[in-house]
Amino acid sequence: MTKLPTLDRRSAFRCLAAGAGAVFGAAPLPGLAESANPVAPRASGGPRRIIFFLQNQGFDPATCVPAGMTSSGSLAGVKLPEPIQALDPYKERLHIINGLHGLHTSPSHSAFFGALGGYRGGDGVPPGASTIDYELSKVLPQTLLPHLCIGMDSLENMTAKPTVANLSASGAGQPIFMHSNPNHLYQMLYGGISEGEIRKRHEARSGLFEKMESIVAAKGQDLPFNDRSRYQTYVGGFQEINGLRERLASVSDRLRNFAPAVDERYSAPKFETEWHDALLDLGISALKSGITNVLTIGSGRGEIFGSWKGLGIEQQGHNLGHMPQPDNPIWIKIRQYNSRMLVRLMEELESVPEGSGTMMDHTLIVYTSNNADAQHTSGANWPVMLLGNCGGTFKTGRLTQLDGKRPINALYTTLLRSAGVQVDRFNMSEKMAAKFDPATGPLREILA
């Protein structure tokens, strides 16, 4: 029998940290605890849930701004560009924002965490602060899993790296992982109510984490004092993992009504888009069941990669960013695919009654790129599309053309304001604002 190598305490510490993060994204899992300073949304409006959808390689404004529109105005009577044509029946719910900037994020190939954080980002650069999706997860109505992140890529990348962290963070140096293997994510969310092999794997993994929690809790007492507090963070991570499993089990009857059917897309996908669609199904089910109120989707996982062979596109990865997007049949297919996903999100949420309306009436979808307008960009223009008005909080059915002076941080300030948080800036110091934001407070142009 081969003898396994003995790990020293520091090596074990690193392995345990990686294990906790690989399953749930961070240790401890961000957002499960109640916010230390929760702020309830306004009763008359504001989001109850929010979805961020980021496509890599940039979002050229010519692919979303209707031809001939050079200033703010209504979308009624205008034809949406071909890449977002699927949204045309939903123009009254759409708000296109052109003219924000992200000069301070240094997007280049990607702003990574800086795209949702509104600060300088880069490949391999840890997050400098929390991101807007995490901050909103703290103040929206609390759920079992306040923040869920899913990432879409090539089959090879999603298989080799089922979790990556590039877009979301719970604080400085605290990334939140995206789930990219739908089999793993299904097991996490619905393993406890499944049967057969899925249930066996769920129980085996649950037993493993319970054992790991007890081991790390005991061994942590033997560490030097300076390492003990850091080690305790990982003990808390396993506690959150096990606690989430128990909480999901406590609502198993409700979850059975929302769990997607497991089919060959999960076990034998021919193209990566089958996994993309399965991941979207899981994200929708988590929203409809009430497991989460914040969903972040990273198409391309915040990097320069990505593949869409299922759309008949053979090119993939970095090369896609060197192609012009307007009138490009490849990018038209990718953006149309995104648009169909946005429509699916709206239709699914519209099908669920909530209050005097539907879930979509209290949901905001934010669509943009982690790359501003192009793969190689200064970030001078960062187009964004909003879908939904959240009980009349946001204007819809229009284009808002800004002058390029206000940063994406101003949009994030607006989102926090809509959720009831009285802030004037998001992740921007007075010194930074003096250089990159001549105003303060929300973008009043987009508020109703």
Q: Quick: pLDDT tens for 346-371.
A: 999 999 999 999 999 999 999 999 99
Residue written as token pair 């960062």: 382
The single-letter DSSP state of residue 428 is -
Task: Return the axis-axis angle of helices 182-190 and 272-289, rounded to nearest 10°.
Answer: 20
298: in domain = yes
CATH classification of the domain holding 288:
3.40.720
Residue written as token pair 């539907």: 358
CA distance 108 to 70: 26
336: in domain = yes
The H or E element spanning position 174 is strand 174-179
pLDDT tens, the chain, 448 aa long = 333 333 333 333 333 333 333 333 333 333 323 332 333 344 457 899 999 999 999 999 999 999 999 999 999 999 999 999 999 999 999 999 999 999 999 998 899 999 999 999 999 999 999 999 999 999 999 998 899 999 999 999 999 999 999 999 999 998 999 999 999 899 888 886 655 665 555 454 555 455 555 555 555 555 565 665 555 555 444 555 555 667 777 777 778 889 999 999 999 999 999 999 999 999 999 999 999 999 999 999 999 999 999 999 999 888 899 999 999 999 999 999 999 999 999 999 999 999 999 999 999 999 999 999 999 999 999 999 999 999 999 999 999 999 999 999 999 999 999 999 999 999 999 999 999 999 999 999 999 9
126: in domain = yes
Task: Tell me how many degrees the CA angle 298-303-306 measures, rounded to the nearest 5.
Answer: 70
149: in domain = yes
9: in domain = no
118 backbone dihedrals φ, ψ, rounded to 5°: 70, 35
Task: Tell me how many degrees the CA angle 390-292-248 measures, rounded to the nearest 5.
Answer: 150
Q: Mean pLDDT score of the chain, rounded to an integer?
A: 84
Per the CB < 8 A criterion, the answer to whether 180 and 280 are in contact is no
Cis peptide, bond prior to residue 81, ω within 30 of zero = no
229: in domain = no
pLDDT at 93: 98
The single-letter DSSP state of residue 394 is B
**Which residue range is the domain that position 423 belongs to?**
41-190+272-446
10: in domain = no
CA distance 29 to 46: 26
User: pTM for the complete prediction?
Assistant: 0.85
- The candidate with the shortest Cα–Cα distance to 169, out of 138, 132, 130, 133, is 130
Q: Quick: pLDDT tens for 364-419.
A: 999 999 999 999 999 999 999 999 999 999 999 999 999 999 999 999 999 999 99
Tokens of 292: 């989460």
Report the length, in residues, of the chain.
448
pLDDT at 1: 34
CA 102 to chain centre: 19
Q: State how many domains the chain has.
A: 1
CA distance 84 to 360: 20
pLDDT at 14: 35
pLDDT at 94: 98
pLDDT at 231: 54
CA distance 127 to 117: 8
Instruction: Specify whether the backbone of 397 is left (phi greater than 0), alpha (psi in -120 to 50) or beta.
Output: left
Residue written as token pair 């993939």: 316
Q: Which ranges in 128-170 belong to alpha helices (H)? A: 132-139, 155-160
SS3 77: coil
Q: Quick: pLDDT tens for 147-190.
A: 999 999 999 999 999 999 999 999 999 899 999 999 989 988 88
The one-letter code for the residue type at 187 is Q
**156: Cβ contacts below 8 Å, ≥ 6 apart:** none
Cα-based distances in Å from 259 to 187, 189, 266 = 11, 8, 14
CA distance 303 to 298: 9
16: in domain = no
Instruction: Give all strands (DSSP E) within 317-446, no chain letters.
Output: 353-354, 357-358, 363-369, 384-387, 398-401
Tokens of 201: 């794997």
